[in-house]
Amino acid sequence: MTHIGLRAQPTVAPAYVTDRVREARARRLLAELGPDFAADSIRVLVDGDLVVVHGTDGARAGFDIFQVADGALADRWSAHQPVISDTASGHSQTDGPAEITRPGQSARSGRLVEYLVDTILVGGKHDRLRHFFSSHLIQHDPLVDNGLQAMADNWRSNRTVYGRRLVTVADGEFVLTVTAGTERDAPRVFYDLFRVDRGMIVERWNTVTVMPPRLPERVAAPAPAPAAQDAP
């Protein structure tokens, strides 16, 4: 993941965040970045002062996180990896549902995923993954097949260790987490985008990057267990 300083600071109306105006204003914001930002934005998430774009330029796919401050774009982080056409699951790195259909679900989805990351993934409690993920998990990691077991096997073979959650962006049924950790003992940053349906994670997109000099980070205590009505 590389941090890219913006050469220009396009102005964005503060109502972009406070009024939670979604796709139209998000895409207008991206247009203001100019021709240097050529990625096809497939999913756009808004959570507080953070805007996440999940997309591809045809050669690379991944995530851009923008921070909005005082009505302008203040910062940007990017995490992308090469597009692989022949994937293990048959799904591309960006296909699948893109529209936010349950905007009132943001807090509930965020709590569920934060607890999963902080307690289950960071704790290495893979025997409890079935309480959070559908057994028919739709997978967009190009090297991993569909299904919960395939993902768990991949983490085991790659010695994937989630260490500390840095950022969560929750918007409707979609939740992006950024987590520092290791893979085969090498420092890595894991970008995971989850789609939540009826209290279970049913779909996952991801990007894994080397550890950059500076990370997007929001200091946060470990998430508490989801309330009874939120628990899977």
- The confidence score (pLDDT) of residue 39 equals 58
Burial 169-192 (b: 16+ CB within 10 A, else e): bbbbbbbbbbbbbbbeeeebbbbb
Write out pLDDT tens, residues 189-217.
Answer: 999 999 999 999 999 999 999 988 777 77
| Nearest CA-CA partner of 51 in 12, 84, 81, 86 | 12
Binning pLDDT at 50, 70 and 90, where does residue 113 land? very high
What domains lie within the chain, and their CATH numbers?
A: 2-81 (no CATH), 103-210 (3.10.450.50)
Instruction: Check if the beta carbon of residue 176 is closer than 8 Å to that of residue 193.
Output: yes
pLDDT tens track for 166-189: 999 999 999 999 999 999 999 999
Lowest mean pLDDT: which of 69-83, 156-170, 217-231? 217-231
The reply to whether the predicted model has a pTM over 0.85 is no
Nearest alpha carbon to residue 195 among 94, 122, 123, 118? 94
- pLDDT at position 8: 38
Place of tokens 């396009």: 10
Question: Secondary structure of the chain: what % helix, strand, coil (to 5)?
Answer: 20, 40, 40
Q: What is the DSSP letter of 111?
A: H
pLDDT tens digits, residue range 79-91?
999 999 999 999 9
Q: Using CA atoms of 138, 82, 1, 207 in order, give the dihedral in degrees to the nearest 10.
A: 10
Look-up: residue for tokens 């406070």? 18
Identify the sign of the CA torsion 131, 135, 138, 139: positive
Mean pLDDT of the chain: 83
pLDDT of 136 reads 95
Residue whose tokens read 């985008």: 193
Distance CA(231)–CA(134), nearest Å, equals 13
pLDDT value of position 1: 37
The pLDDT tens digits for 22-68 are 455 555 666 666 555 545 789 989 898 888 999 998 899 999 898 87
pLDDT at 153: 96
Q: Are strands 133-139 and 200-210 parallel, antiparallel or unpaired?
A: parallel
